[in-house]
């Protein structure tokens, strides 16, 4: 039944009175005014008959609007005013018996109406309250729904709801986009495989089945999306509960981790490079606390990785370089972005100096603000050692060269002094220098450490060709020191030259025996090197009237360098040279050059 306009007016009036109650004083004032107004109407227009009837509607309205108290007040006021308006001059207070009875009846009826109306009003109030509660519950629900949908919409994840049969019920807007789908409708109702292709089907199906039975699963796996691109997904599959029970529906939250994974892999790669680098790689904060040091760095300075994080930059620097680091290097890194050069570190345990090639650089945020210092250092010790070694070698080489030149100077001067003609002098110098040069070859092969006698003799004899085959060489392997080798080479050269010119090799039949051996002594200090040059079958020998440079040189240099007893004997049947030296002296290489 549709409410009439009047009903609706009353309803509105009633709700207004209930929801916005007036102050009690006002309520009573309105009641008083209304009843007085009714009384006046009654006095002016209505006859004595039924004086109370007019008051009924007013009392009813007042009780409905303001409740029981005001209604009862209006009832008694009506009874009094109605009685007053019909009062005469006789009877008790101007009312006769019948009027008193009627007044009592009015009171009883009116009180009944007031009680009834106030109950009705209370019912209305309850209904109104319920209505308002329902309304606010609806409002809260709407707000929650708006909240949830905005949360879903703002999530970058791909959020999917599957029904009992693992068909797609719902996909978020962002999820749809991440999956390369044009419209949600495209896949609604299709099996979940429509969203991801080439996925590890067993794992995904297993997770969905587990979720529909109430278990939650997380995994990461690659899958192709609509359009064919292969992406990596971090997936969480969980059951959807309704009132604490399983609904059979499944919530699938998948996050595209392709870019993150690529970044992670890149980071891993770089970390491996840093970990495995043979260089010192470290990072310190702006206040110079060391935040990271790779294993090679720890190793270089003798620190454990844990201890490294409790150090500061200056702990690593050689005291002599601290000032330079603070005043030159760090400002250069701050201002120019990097600094490179040589620097010295200090070993934490041994305190040793470690020369390094230092490359320092800024560690900065993306906006370019400085947050720390990085350094890559390479141990320079080897290079430095090599440099020192090189310098020593150069000095040594220069020293040897000068010694050789001095020797050449002596050989040349002596050859010239002894020669009869300039031509003889020239040839003698050349031949002696050739012998010297050949001996040098043998020494160079052992870095001027020793020369093997057999090789030395063979080398010196070689230029004499076929003739040298008449020199029978026999001796064990003995390595002699460089100066002894040079002296012996020159001596053999002189002897051979002399034999070819005047001695055993000057005819067709003569021979030379060159022998050496080691004799005597169980202990090395007693052992001696013996060498003989014995010519036989040559022309008759007469001792020379004047000793030439050759023979003097042979005797004196062999004596000096071998600390030997040397005898050059011009026997009539042929020259014999004997050398008897302490073996230790011949092979010792520690003599100053």
Please tell me what DSSP assigns to residue 425.
Answer: H
Binding track over 6-25 against other proteins, x by CB under 8 A: --------------------
SS3 of 317-360: the string is ECHHHHHHHHHHHHHHHHHHCEEEEEEEEECCCCCCEEEEEEEE
The answer to whether 395 contacts other proteins (rule: CB under 8 A) is: yes
From 123, 403, 430, 509, residue interacting with other proteins (rule: CB under 8 A): 403
Q: Which is nearer to other proteins, 269 or 391 (CB)?
A: 391
What is the smallest separation between the CB atom of 552 and other proteins, expressed in angstroms?
A: 7
Least Cβ distance, residue 549 to other proteins (angstroms): 8
Work out which of 66, 561, 568, 586 binds other proteins, going by CB under 8 A: 561
515 is a contact residue toward other proteins (CB under 8 A): no
Q: Does 185 bind other proteins (CB under 8 A)?
A: no
Pick out residues in 274-313 that bind other proteins (CB under 8 A). Answer: none
Q: Is 397 in the site for other proteins (CB under 8 A)?
A: no
The position carrying tokens 């043998």 is 442
- Minimum CB distance to other proteins, residue 339 (Å): 36
Q: Is 387 in the site for other proteins (CB under 8 A)?
A: no
- Does 197 engage in binding with other proteins (CB under 8 A)? no
Under 8 Å between Cβ of 251 and 225: no
Enumerate residues 447-506 that contact other proteins by CB under 8 A: 487
CB of 468 to other proteins, least distance (A): 24
Nearer to other proteins among residue 168 and residue 568 (C-beta)? 568
The conformation of residue 270, written as its DSSP 8-state character, comes to H
Instruction: Report, in Å, the least distance between residue 381 CB and other proteins.
Output: 25
Residues 6+ apart with CB under 8 A from 65: 13, 14, 17, 121
Which residue, 362 or 400, is less far from other proteins as judged by CB? Answer: 400
> How many CB atoms sit inside 10 A of residue 214's CB?
11
Which two three-digit tokens encode residue 299?
Answer: 């190793």
Task: Report, in Å, the least distance between residue 408 CB and other proteins.
Answer: 8
Secondary structure of the chain: what % helix, strand, coil (to 5)? 55, 20, 20
- Output 98 or 592, the one with its CB closest to other proteins: 592
- x-marked contacts with other proteins along 25-54 as a string, rule CB under 8 A: ------------------------------
Query: What does the block give as tokens for 224?
Result: 């192709």
**Which positions ≥6 away from 557 have C-beta within 8 Å?**
487, 490, 491
376: left (phi over 0), alpha (psi -120 to 50) or beta: beta
Based on its alpha-carbon atoms, the radius of gyration of the chain, rounded to whole angstroms, reads: 63
Long-range contacts of 29-35 (CB under 8 A, 24+ apart): 30/62, 30/66, 31/62, 31/66, 31/70, 31/73, 31/74, 31/77, 32/77, 34/58, 34/61, 34/62, 34/74, 35/74, 35/77, 35/78, 35/81
| Separation in Å, CA 177 to CA 120, 155, 182, 234 | 59, 12, 7, 17
Q: Which among 120-128, 160-168, 330-338, 556-564 is the span making contact with other proteins, rule CB under 8 A?
A: 556-564
Q: How many residues interact with other proteins (rule CB under 8 A)?
A: 26
Whose Cβ is closer to other proteins: residue 5's or residue 417's? 417
Q: Does 402 bind other proteins (CB under 8 A)?
A: yes
CB of 457 to other proteins, least distance (A): 20
Asked if 345 interacts with other proteins (CB under 8 A), we say: no
Q: Is 580 helix (H, G, I), strand (E, B) or coil?
A: strand
Q: Of 543, 542, 568, nearest to 553 (Cα)?
A: 568
Stretch that binds other proteins, among 64-72, 313-321, 397-405, 455-463 (CB under 8 A): 397-405
Count of alpha carbons within 13 Å of 484, Cβ hemisphere only? Answer: 28
Q: Which is nearer to other proteins, 75 or 481 (CB)?
A: 481
x/- contact string, 404-423, with other proteins (CB under 8 A)?
Answer: -xxx-xxx-xx--x------
For other proteins, give the closer residue by CB, 31 or 411: 411
Nearer to other proteins, 8 or 402 (CB): 402
554 touching other proteins, by CB under 8 A: no
User: What is the Cα–Cα distance from 482 to 587, expressed in whole angstroms?
Assistant: 9
Q: Give the containing element (helix H, strand E) for 452.
A: strand 451-452
CB of residue 491 vs other proteins: minimum separation in angstroms?
11
Residue 162 bridge partners (DSSP) = 168, 250
Angle between helices 482-501 and 422-445 (to 10 degrees): 140
To the nearest whole angstrom, how small is the minimum distance from the Cβ of residue 437 to other proteins?
A: 15
Interface residue with other proteins among 399, 462, 469, 472 (CB under 8 A) is 399
Nearer to other proteins, 400 or 464 (CB): 400
Smallest separation, CB 353 to other proteins (Å): 25
Please give the residue ranges that form the binding site for other proteins (CB under 8 A): 395, 398-400, 402-403, 405-407, 409-411, 413-414, 417, 487, 552-553, 556-557, 559-561, 591-593
């Amino acid at each position: 039944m549709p409410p009439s306009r009047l009903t609706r007016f009353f309803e509105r009036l009633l709700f207004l009175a209930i929801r916005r109650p007036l102050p009690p004083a006002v309520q009573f004032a309105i009641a008083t005014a209304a009843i007085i107004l009714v009384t006046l109407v009654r006095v002016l227009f209505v006859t004595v008959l039924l004086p109370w009837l007019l008051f009924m509607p007013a009392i009813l309205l007042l009780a409905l609007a303001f409740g029981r108290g005001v209604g009862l007040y209006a009832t008694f006021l009506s009874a009094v005013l109605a009685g007053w308006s019909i009062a005469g001059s006789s009877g008790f207070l101007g009312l006769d018996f019948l009027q008193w009875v009627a007044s009592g009846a009015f009171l009883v009826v009116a009180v009944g109406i007031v009680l009834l109306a106030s109950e009705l009003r209370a019912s209305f109030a309850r209904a109104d309250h319920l209505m308002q509660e329902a309304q606010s519950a609806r409002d809260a629900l709407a707000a929650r729904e708006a909240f949830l949908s905005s949360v879903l919409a703002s999530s970058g994840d791909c959020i999917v709801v599957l029904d009992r049969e693992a068909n797609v019920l719902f996909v978020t807007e962002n999820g749809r986009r991440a999956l390369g789908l044009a419209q949600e409708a495209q896949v609604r109702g299709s099996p979940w495989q429509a969203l991801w292709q080439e996925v590890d089907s067993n794992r995904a199906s297993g997770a969905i089945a587990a979720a529909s039975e109430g278990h939650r699963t997380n995994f990461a796996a690659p899958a192709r999306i609509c359009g064919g691109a292969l992406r990596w997904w971090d997936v969480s599959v969980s059951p959807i509960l309704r009132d604490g029970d399983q609904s059979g529906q499944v919530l699938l939250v998948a996050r595209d981790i392709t870019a993150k994974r690529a970044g992670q892999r890149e980071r891993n790669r770089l970390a491996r490079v840093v970990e495995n680098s043979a260089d010192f790689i470290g990072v310190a904060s702006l206040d110079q606390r060391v935040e990271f040091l790779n294993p090679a760095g720890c190793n270089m300075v003798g620190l454990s990785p844990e201890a490294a994080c409790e150090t500061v930059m200056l702990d690593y620097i050689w005291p002599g370089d601290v000032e330079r680091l603070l005043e030159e290097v760090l400002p250069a890194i701050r201002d120019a972005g990097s600094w490179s050069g040589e620097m010295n570190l200090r070993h934490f345990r041994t305190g040793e100096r470690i020369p390094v090639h230092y490359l320092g650089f800024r560690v900065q945020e993306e906006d370019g603000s400085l947050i720390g210092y990085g350094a890559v250092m390479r141990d320079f010790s080897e290079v430095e050692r090599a440099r020192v070694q090189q310098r020593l070698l150069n000095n040594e080489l220069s020293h040897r060269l000068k010694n050789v030149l001095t020797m050449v100077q002596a050989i040349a001067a002596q050859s010239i002094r002894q020669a009869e003609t300039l031509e003889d002098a020239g040839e003698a110098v050349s031949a002696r220098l050739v012998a010297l040069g050949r001996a040098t070859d043998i020494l160079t092969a052992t870095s001027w450490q020793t020369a093997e006698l057999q090789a030395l003799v063979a080398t010196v004899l070689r230029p004499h060709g076929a003739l040298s085959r008449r020199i029978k060489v026999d001796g064990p392997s003995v390595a002699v020191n460089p100066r002894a080798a040079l002296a012996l080479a020159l001596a053999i050269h002189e002897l051979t030259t002399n034999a070819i010119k005047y001695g055993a090799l000057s005819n067709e039949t003569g021979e030379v025996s060159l022998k050496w051996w080691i004799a005597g002594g169980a202990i090395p200090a007693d052992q001696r090197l013996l060498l003989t040059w014995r010519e036989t079958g040559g022309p008759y020998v007469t001792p020379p009237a004047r000793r030439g440079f050759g023979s003097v040189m042979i005797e004196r240099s062999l004596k000096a360098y071998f600390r030997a007893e040397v005898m050059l004997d011009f026997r009539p049947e042929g020259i014999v040279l004997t050398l008897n030296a302490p073996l230790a002296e011949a092979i010792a290489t520690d003599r100053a050059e």
